[in-house]
Structure 1
Amino acid sequence: MSRSIPSAKAEGWSEFGQGLVWMTLSMASFIGMSIGSRELAATLSIRQVLFFRALIGLLVILALGRSLWPEVRQMKRLRLHVLRNVVHFTGQYFWTIGVVMLPLASVFALEFTMPIWVAFFALLFLNERLTKPRILATIGGFLGVLVIVRPGVGMVDPAAGLVLVAAAAYGLSLIFVKQLTGYCSPGAIVAWMIVIQLPLGLVAALTDWREVHVTDIPWMLLAGVGALSAHFCQAQALKRLDASVVMPIDFLRVPLAAIVGYLAYKEGIDLWVILGGAVILFSNYRAVMAERRQVC
């Protein structure tokens, strides 16, 4: 019996550590997807970008994920898959309207209210404990984002409400993914995402179709593979970590994206980005250490 307790603790920390690795890969994939999408948006409509991301994802699934189709054909939790993807796609649509109508700083500040929604929905649907470290990590991460983007006070705009709805939709979608990981593999969850969102994206793209060029193909691949990898890695992380642990870590995407923007597009990194990144890193470090002590 004396050796079983350390063994259980080691196994628990192993799961926790694996979850952090998957979340790191997810953040890197999201940044890759963002670069590909940004380059595509220079010549194509945003609706086309969403469609081609899903199309590339389908091609990858068909080429590499044939072992997933027996599980997909079982149609486990089909209603939940449909609900999750309708909610997620709706969030993408509202967020796009916000990007068009609002300053980007305001959009990012509003979008990163999502962890607050995740914590709320996790408490409501998953009965996850809202521990003090998780609350502090969420608050600290949100404050760090505000330091980086420094949104103005003039956000009284109907589009701001739509971005808040998008943030809530993303948060609810994440909770549905967490529920699905109890019945489906991460690969099957991603496959269903592609199967459901591809026709939704096609219908939307046909309303604003622009000419596609050969030079768009590399960016389609980066955006599509990045999106597929991002959601797969995120599902893997959610399989090992509570949703309210995953989301504060996701705040790190902001300073990481700032670094990539500097290297790829020569976008300036000022003192506010450094300070905000430090707040995010410190908040997540404290939360991770607190969770590690609970596991060990």
Structure 2
Amino acid sequence: MSPPRTHARVIRRLHVANHRLSSLPGNLRGILWMLVAGLFFTTMVTLIKLLGARLHVTEIILIRQIFMAMIVAPTIVAGLPGSLVTRHGHLHALRIACASVAMFAGFTAVVHLPLADATALSFSKTFFVTIFAILFLGETVGRHRWLATIAGFIGVLVILRPDAGGGVNLYAGLAVAGAAAAAVVMILIRKLSQFERPVTILTYQAVFVGVIMLPFAIANWKTPTPAEWGLLVIAGFVSWAGQMCNIRAFRAGEASAIAAFDYVRLLYATAIGFLLFSDLPGLHTLAGATLIVAAALYTAWREAYLGKKVTTQSGLRSDPP
């Protein structure tokens, strides 16, 4: 079969697949996009784990940021000079610093911990967001969410096992620190999005996280082999693809209906960790992860229930007598 005819068949099949996908209910489409996003993100951390066997984490982050900046460069350039104009430089600086800590700590944990353990601990970000939202945004949290938060942290402690001889594992501690820093980033994005354009928020992190990593990467530089360059490029691409799928997921479906499916990453991480690294999570990891996921799912269900209740009550009040 000739190449033009083969190309035409591929394009036609893609159009058919896109039509079938668009005909599905919104929440189902959102769930499917979320499942694909989870696979991309798990692939990314797997590649980072493989690369981290020889390359320093700061070098990996630097090259990843360069690749990401290249992808979003058209958006950044199109928005100049407005994409760099801000009156909240201090919030951007704090976000960039926290994002750098989150990447360094989280990626270091991924390199040195079993994938399932690192992934489970990263989910503690949900509960740090609750605490930081109270401290920095003044949000009110009810007893149900507090109980879920406490249960989630108990799950983290079960995985960390601080009393299991020798104290807390350094890399497990870094995973939790990375999750806490990522939670601060989410709070700052929520704050910045009230008065900054998305392109401005995107530009500062895309560029300046790489700037922060540059001196550390130079100090620890090891020239990547051709195979490692290939993995770095793939890691950058799947990171971007995961974010795009995540955006499409939340555009297609309701956040309360699809957010819980982010936890499929734990299943992906367990399977990939076993197949590539012969790692299986221990009973303490399974028990702790169960608590973390159950608490987060309960929080999501509770928020969805309250949201529907408020909507119903508002509808009843607005109905004519």
**What TM-score results when the alignment is normalised by the length of structure 2?**
0.65
Greater shift in the superposed pair: 250-259 or 96-105: 96-105
Counterpart secondary structure, 2:235: helix
Gap regions ≥5 residues in structure 1: 1-13
Matched, 1:139 2:150: yes
Deviation for aligned residue 1:256:
4.0
Matched, 1:59 2:89: no
**Structure 2 counterparts to residues 12-161 of structure 1, below 5 A:** 27-62=38-73, 67=78, 69=80, 71-75=82-86, 77-93=88-104, 114-147=125-158, 152-155=164-167
Query: Corresponding residue for 1:203?
Result: 215
Query: Kindly tell me: are residues 291 and 111 of structure 1, through their superposed partners in 2, closer, same or farther at Cα, counting changes over 3 Å?
Result: closer
Aligned with 2:228 (options 216, 228, 250):
216
Q: Distance in 2 between matches of 1:269 and 1:164?
A: 17
**What TM-score results when the alignment is normalised by the length of structure 1?**
0.70
Query: Corresponding residue for 1:3?
Result: none
Counterpart secondary structure, 1:119: helix
Q: Which amino acid aligns with 1:77?
A: H
Query: Kindly tell me: are residues 205 and 58 of structure 1, through their superposed partners in 2, closer, same or farther at Cα, counting changes over 3 Å?
Result: same
Q: Distance in 1 between matches of 2:281 and 2:131?
A: 33
Identity value in percent: 26
Greater shift in the superposed pair: 103-112 or 185-194: 103-112
Q: Distance in 2 between matches of 1:95 and 1:183?
A: 29
Q: Distance in 1 between matches of 2:170 and 2:272?
A: 31
Q: Distance in 1 between matches of 2:156 and 2:90?
A: 35
Larger radius of gyration: 2
Query: Corresponding residue for 1:287?
Result: 299
Greater shift in the superposed pair: 75-84 or 169-178: 75-84
Matched, 1:173 2:185: yes
Query: Kindly tell me: are residues 80 and 65 of structure 1, through their superposed partners in 2, closer, same or farther at Cα, counting changes over 3 Å?
Result: same
Q: Distance in 2 between matches of 1:55 and 1:232?
A: 18
